[in-house]
Structure 1
Amino acid sequence: MIKKTLYFSNPAYLSLRDAQLVIKLPEVENNPSLPDTMKCQSLVTKPIEDIGLVILDHRQITITSGVIEALLENNSALITCDSKSMPVGLMLPLYGNTTQNERYRKQLEASLPLRKQLWQQTVQAKITNQAAVLSACTGDMSKCMYIWANEVRSGDPENLEARAAAYYWKNLFSDITGFTREREGVPPNNLLNYGYAILRAVVARGLVISGLLPTLGIHHHNRYNAYCLADDIMEPYRPFVDRLVFDLYLKYGADVLLTKEIKIALLSIPTIEVNINRKRSPLMVAVSQTTASLYKCFTGELRRIVYPDFNGSF
């Protein structure tokens, strides 16, 4: 079953009762101009077990320690946002799998050649998905992208990932003069930042559930990055976010702002339909298959990570 994403952008009081998340909205409850029938709707409950991701985007949200404990025990991820409504914090369960220690050891013992091969597969899947997005959004058949994907060697020593990315961004948003993918860049970079933050949380959650350390990457290794492995594994999933952002860019224009309406659209990322193992699946479920396959690669049961593609998506 696909887990729900809950987004809070107004004052709220979140508590726990009988394994249910109790949501109280003081703005509704304390408004004298509203009828009592509407005030009854200020109190909502949601089963904790149905929740996969919670996003807190308001400074006047109160959440009890009981709620946090229950969310983490049910392998939910909790995101907090800053004053600019951008995700700034991520809380994940410490123990997402019953054989945690064994799985950590398998991950830590992974050889350098294996990690390089896994990164090769990751880059190939990413470039192939980027090529599919370019073809669908711009009509560019991107033959060079497929050639680069096939030429990626173990560890990607030629850094074909970067070459493909430069071509990809230049052509995906070709209507925007000099567009580059930068965190502080012009729109729709703001939408991409937000979408990737949600995706990162979904992937980090999947890794923890599979009993893996999100910190220890197969390629990324920044000493200040607590989610190197999540940043590795999310790479082939980024083009699914890019496609959604491209559609929003066409609808709202080049100067699109990160409004509440846009955020709601981006919150659909965990439920985006993807093709994985020749079957259609919500992105959050597909991530679980990817992270489970990654562990099996560490144990030697599999030789390839299972990644999604755009086959039949357009």
Structure 2
Amino acid sequence: MAFRVVMIENEVSMKLKLNNLVLDKEGQEIWIPLSDISVVVIDNLRISITTRMLSMFADKGIGVIVCNMEHLPIGYYSAYDSHSRASKVIKSQISYLREDYDCLWSNIIKSKIKNQYKVLEKLNKSKDVIEAMKDYESSVELGDLGNREAHAAKIYFNELMGSSFSRGNDDLLINSGLDYGYAIVRSYLARMCVSYGLNTSIGIHHRSEYNRFNLVDDIFEPFRPIVDLYVYELLSDEEYFKPEHRHKLVNILNHKIKYKNKEMYISNALEEYVFNVASIITGNFKKLTFPDVNDYRGDKDGV
């Protein structure tokens, strides 16, 4: 299974040789087997990439993230589909009952809120806020018609980051870290969805006609608090968003988590999770297993 996230910041030439990605900087070559690569992050606006390379990446199921001048992910490229029974899975997505989607969404939101207040518990934050979030979790309706997700998110981020915090403020260092971490995990989820034949534009709750990744944004929700916790611990005492922070956030896919009673890398947990989602939609499973912040082990290797 592909496991490497390749981050390219220096100005290098990229080429393909014998099923390897070859990075050439001033005559020094680095060879990386394509079979090892899950995602390539390009964080240098002077790097060129060929259509042949993009075609090969798609064929191998390799996602590509492109960053802007502020070094934040701005675009994602992936294979259109790479599953032998993609049309069958898509038919299941289309025919899946609205009531079942609403039930699935309610469980996703309950899991997200639960992981959010567990983050606050781990950081010894306000018990009153934690209790309020538990009330929000217990009162989530079918399809979250009462929008408990938004209410919980407001008090969660205010308690975690301060009452002046706003997710829309691009000048806040924490937001840069959250955007970067979210983009890394989101792109990996998109890659996994394609691998299992899911059409990422057909969402559970998100239904925007302009969003190619509605489904990804839906199923990502329970994993967001894990990124929140890591970003908080990584950046809360920092003044600038440095290259070393970006390197560590890219590596979040190699952090450890206990999922389905097995310790594994987050990348493996994401694949198991997407397989679980696909199996539910196609009628093979009944229950979706969610990640638990308390089972997040972090970066045991210190990389």
TM-score calculated relative to the size of structure 2: 0.92
Contact 2:125 2:159 in 1 (8 A): no
Q: C-alpha separation between the residues in 2 aligned to 1:182 and 1:47?
A: 39
Letter in 2 for 1:274: I
User: For this pair of structures, how many residues does the alignment match?
Assistant: 295
Moved more, 77-86 or 296-305: 296-305
Query: For residue 196 of structure 1, what is the aligned residue in structure 2?
Result: 182
The answer to whether 1:302 aligns with 2:288 is no
Query: For residue 169 of structure 1, what is the aligned residue in structure 2?
Result: 157
Query: For residue 198 of structure 2, what is the aligned residue in structure 1?
Result: 212
Query: For residue 81 of structure 1, what is the aligned residue in structure 2?
Result: 67
Contact 2:259 2:295 in 1 (8 A): no
Query: For residue 10 of structure 2, what is the aligned residue in structure 1?
Result: 10
Alignment of 1:254-273 (within 5 A): 256-273=239-256
* SS across alignment from 1:149: helix
Identity %, equivalent residues: 27
Mark the structure with the bigger radius of gyration: 1
Query: For residue 148 of structure 1, what is the aligned residue in structure 2?
Result: 136
Per-residue deviation, 1:167: 1.2
Contact 1:183 1:190 in 2 (8 A): no
Query: For residue 25 of structure 2, what is the aligned residue in structure 1?
Result: 25
Query: For residue 42 of structure 2, what is the aligned residue in structure 1?
Result: 56
Query: For residue 267 of structure 2, what is the aligned residue in structure 1?
Result: 284
Contact 2:86 2:198 in 1 (8 A): yes
Contact 1:210 1:288 in 2 (8 A): no
Query: For residue 301 of structure 2, what is the aligned residue in structure 1?
Result: none
Residue-by-residue CA offset, 1:39-79 (whole Å, 9 max, x unaligned): xxx20100000000101111221223333222222211111
Segments of structure 1 that go 5 or more residues without pairing to the other structure are 30-41
Structure 2 CA distance for partners of 1:104 and 1:183, relative to 1, 3 Å: farther
Q: C-alpha separation between the residues in 2 aligned to 1:179 and 1:64?
A: 41
Q: C-alpha separation between the residues in 2 aligned to 1:308 and 1:18?
A: 38
Query: For residue 105 of structure 2, what is the aligned residue in structure 1?
Result: 119
TM-score calculated relative to the size of structure 1: 0.89
Query: For residue 234 of structure 2, what is the aligned residue in structure 1?
Result: 248
The answer to whether 1:186 aligns with 2:172 is yes
Per-residue deviation, 1:200: 1.3
Q: CA RMSD in A?
A: 1.7
Per-residue deviation, 1:264: 0.7
Query: For residue 118 of structure 2, what is the aligned residue in structure 1?
Result: 132
